[in-house]
């Protein structure tokens, strides 16, 4: 169900549509979808990936996001104490939405970054609730250092290249993630996300590289790197 809500956010937020008051409708013919054709995972499989109303193909992203959310929520419960698992499932939800919206639209909505930052700073007053087990001071300093570091990169790139090289959304997001994970983990997130960004760049044909600006969805890279760190924390560190 949370995966279905994530899909609603991914589809509607970039279009400035309400995620609460509008009922789900077919993206092709705009006909309202009845509830029994809107059951997460089940309806997609029963309908064989096609809408019931106009028989057009449903984007497989809907199924993928629902499955991914279910699997990651299950991993949270499997790997962490239940109080941590509930909080981490909220973080997981935010990061899935951030990942897909940034991947498709190159947008990171402030609401998610601010929620990550606020919750990251507050949670460390109760260190047993944070799997990274960092102090409030570490959380605050990590958020500030990572934010200023990204703002410096942004400033220097614009100074040298005379154009924007990084969005403010990336800087706000890394501050939120660092508030949760601490300074040492920030360095790992920075390294891993940079490697993911390079791999993304390498997917472009060689003849297109350098001929036009290639926008790397770095928010997606940061989200992916944080999830890797979360589930492989001890082995990575």
Task: Please give the structure tokens belonging to residue 164.
Answer: 């924007």
Question: Quick check: 55 and 30 in contact, CB under 8 A?
Answer: no
What's residue 64's pLDDT?
Answer: 94
What's residue 233's pLDDT?
Answer: 76
Categorize the per-residue pLDDT at 178 as very low, low, confident or very high, splitting at 50, 70 and 90: very high
Average pLDDT over residues 18-25: 78
Q: Is pLDDT of 237 > 60? A: no
DSSP 32: B
What's residue 210's pLDDT?
Answer: 66
Q: Which residues, at least 6 apart from 82, have a Cβ–Cβ distance to it below 8 Å?
A: none
Task: Please give the structure tokens belonging to residue 35.
Answer: 């509830």
Q: Which residue has the higher pLDDT, 137 or 29?
A: 137
Q: Average per-residue pLDDT in the chain?
A: 89
Average pLDDT over residues 107-132: 93
CA distance 145 to 162: 25
CA distance 150 to 170: 8
pLDDT tens digits, 127-145:
889 999 999 999 999 999 9
Residue with the two structure tokens 């990274």: 132
Q: Is pLDDT of 105 > 70? A: yes
DSSP per-residue letters across 131-178: TT---HHHHHHHHHHHHHHHHHHHHHHHHHHSS--S-HHHHHHHHHHH
Share of the chain above pLDDT 90, in %: 65
Question: Could you give the dihedral angle defined by the CA atoms of residues 209, 215, 216 and 222, in that order, rounded to the nearest 10 degrees?
Answer: 160
Average pLDDT over residues 142-156: 96
The pTM assigned to this predicted structure is 0.90
pLDDT tens digits, 44-77:
888 877 887 777 788 888 899 999 999 999 999 9
């Amino acid at each position: 169900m949370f995966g279905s809500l994530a899909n609603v956010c991914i589809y509607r937020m970039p279009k400035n549509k309400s995620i609460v008051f509008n009922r789900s409708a077919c993206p092709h013919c705009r006909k309202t979808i009845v509830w029994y054709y809107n059951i997460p995972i089940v309806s997609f499989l029963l309908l064989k990936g096609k809408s019931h109303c106009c028989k057009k193909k449903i984007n497989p992203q809907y199924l993928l996001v629902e499955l991914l959310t279910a699997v990651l929520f299950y991993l949270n419960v499997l790997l962490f104490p239940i109080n941590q698992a509930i909080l981490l499932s909220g973080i997981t939800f935010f990061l899935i939405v951030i990942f897909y919206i940034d991947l498709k639209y190159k947008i990171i909505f402030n609401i998610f970054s601010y929620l990550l930052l606020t919750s990251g700073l507050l949670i460390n007053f109760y260190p047993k609730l944070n799997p990274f087990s960092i102090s409030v001071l570490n959380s605050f300093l990590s958020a500030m250092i990572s934010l200023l570091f990204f703002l410096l990169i942004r400033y220097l790139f614009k100074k040298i290249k005379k154009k924007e090289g990084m969005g403010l959304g990336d800087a706000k997001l890394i501050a939120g993630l660092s508030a949760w994970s601490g300074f040492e983990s920030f360095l790992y997130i920075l390294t891993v996300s940079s490697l993911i960004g390079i791999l993304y760049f390498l997917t472009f044909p060689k003849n297109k590289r350098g001929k036009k600006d290639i926008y790397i969805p770095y928010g997606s890279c940061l989200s992916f790197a944080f999830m890797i760190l979360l589930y492989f924390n001890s082995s990575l560190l």
